[in-house]
Chain A
Amino acid sequence: MSWLTDALSFLLDGASWEGTSGLGARLLDHLGLSALALLVATLVAVPLGLVLGHTGRGGALAINISNIGRAIPTFAILVIFVLLPQPLGDNTGSFVLALALFSVPPLLTNTYTGMREVDRSAVDAARGLGMSPAQMLLRVELPLATPLLMVGLRIAAVQVVATTTVVGLVSTRTLGSTITAGVASQDQPRVIAGALLVAALALVVELALAALEKRVGRRSSRPAAGKGRRAGKVAAASASSG
């Protein structure tokens, strides 16, 4: 287990964190790219999922996009984007676009499913109260769909942290490149330290969003057992590809 102690002492050494290729800069770059990609994906997928779910159209697309997304290797898309001419290439825009593309499926599928699973009697009651379609969407359906939307957000967030690591295979950026550079120079403590850091980051994101999901879920009116089971099924149906 000396590889583990070596990696831990590398992590605890302040010098490992300094400089443009240090752990600090790479971690910040990793977080920045992941956050931007997740933001872009959310801005596209959630409104689209809400509208498709509200109208009940495009269901096949919303569900199947997760299966298609899983079959496409992130690494392949990143390599292609890096090799394409401007405005793509080895730059932030390319990476954010590629990572966002892979975050859309879990968000879209779960938002759509959440909307479709809203109790029809609640929607009918809202219509009976004279709500406009927009009011129904925002005041009735969206709150009821939020638990599944949060599941989608958690899956997408954990996945984007993982796919951001793959950026390190095509560029000297993110914690992924800490790993690949370490493999190339046979610097095992650096490799393991990078891997531990990125694994810890993914787990922190998973736990934080799972906690948030629970808080949001408690406010929702659904029976807990039914919700958990359904959410689990959708989560399994749109899992990661990083």
Chain B
Amino acid sequence: MPVVSVIHSASLADNCLTRNEWVCPLYLETRSSILLDAVGEHVQILVLSLAIGLLVGFPLALLARRTPWLKTVVLGAATIVYTVPSLALFVLVLPYTGLTVTTVVLALGLYSLTIIVRGVVAGLEGVPSSVEDAARGVGYGPQRLLWQVQVPLAVPSLVASLRVAGVSTVALTTVGAVVAHGGLGNLLFEGLQTRFFAQVLTASVLTVLLAFAVDLLLLALQKALTPWRRGVAA
């Protein structure tokens, strides 16, 4: 028996994983495939949620702008949905979609939608009436006015709302761990239950880095879409 225990403790290398340290580069090396899978799910949820938010939110904002009662309804509904805590929203979608990634995508898509609708409506309302009058004066019809003047001028507000939605979505995705689809949040949840410190810290840091990367990417998109604003502070 003593021989066995000697062999056993000798085979247990002394490193940051076995010492359960918070900062552990060895964790990154040995679990890179798990981390990549989690980041992959995180990004998938982000892209799909933002796509839902944009594809539904943008037309909805255009419609709402022309019809006052619709605007009241849309903005009111957006406030109500946005107020519902994410954990509650996830499980209120649950009866229809079950413990799938769709649950998280739908709930976070709904959040992005509320942020983007408000951003686009505010952007369109912020277009100076003098600019609109000038465009009409040189003969722009309603469609051309909308697509060549109003929408381009609303782009900064649209992208600002996309940035808020994108960064929030990255952070809120972690809560998706409640339905087992939280991207890096799954690693946080597992790390909590097994008291695996390196996993918790690595997943936390990666989530924050992902949020900042998304923010910078969307900021670059805004610069590319609004060349006339170069040199103006964002």
Q: Which residues of A contact B (CB under 8 A)?
A: 3, 67, 70-77, 79-80, 82-83, 158, 161-163, 165-166, 168-170, 176, 179-180, 182-183, 188, 191-192, 194-196, 198-199, 202-203, 206, 232-233, 236-237, 239-242
Contact = CB atoms under 8 A, between A and B. Distances in A.
B85 interface: yes
Contacts, number: 149
A237 B191 CA distance: 33
Interface in B82-120: 82-89, 91-92, 94-95, 115, 118-119
A73 B87 contact: no
Given A75-B188, A179-B91, 12 more contacts: A71-B212, A72-B211, A83-B200, A166-B86, A183-B94, A195-B87, A199-B92, A203-B83, A236-B122, A236-B161, A239-B168, A242-B86
19 contacts: A70-B167, A71-B170, A73-B170, A73-B172, A75-B174, A75-B182, A79-B200, A158-B83, A162-B87, A166-B87, A166-B175, A170-B192, A182-B91, A191-B91, A203-B80, A206-B83, A232-B122, A237-B160, A240-B82
A176 B167 CA distance: 23
A196 B168 CA distance: 22
B74 to A, nearest CB: 15
A83 B197 contact: yes
Contacts of B122: 232-233, 236
B49 interface: no
Nearest to B179: A183
B131 interface: no
A202 B85 contact: yes
A194 B87 CA distance: 10
A162 B107 CA distance: 14
Contacts of A166: 85-87, 175
Contact of B203 (A72, A76, A179, A242): A76
Contact of B87 (A67, A176, A239): A176
Most buried by A among B85, B91, B171: B85
Main secondary structure of the interface of A (DSSP, over half): helix
B41 interface: no
A79 B182 CA distance: 14
Contact of B200 (A80, A196, A199): A80
Interface of B: 79-80, 82-89, 91-92, 94-95, 115, 118-119, 122, 160-161, 164, 167-168, 170-172, 174-175, 177-179, 182, 185, 188-189, 191-192, 195, 197, 200-201, 203-204, 207-208, 211-212, 215
B87 A198 contact: yes
Contacts of A79: 188-189, 191-192, 200, 204
B12 to A, nearest CB: 23
B50 to A, nearest CB: 15
A11 to B, nearest CB: 14
Given A165-B87, A199-B92, A75 B201 contact: no
A192 B88 CA distance: 8
Contacts of B200: 76, 79-80, 83
Contacts of A241: 168, 171-172
A163 B85 CA distance: 8
A242 to B, nearest CB: 6
A76 B188 contact: yes
A71 B171 contact: yes
A202 B83 contact: yes
Given A83-B200, A199-B84, A179 B212 contact: no
Contact of A71 (B119, B167, B185, B203): B167
A182 B87 CA distance: 12
B188 A71 contact: no
A86 B206 CA distance: 26
A169 B189 contact: yes
B86 A70 contact: no
A236 B126 CA distance: 14
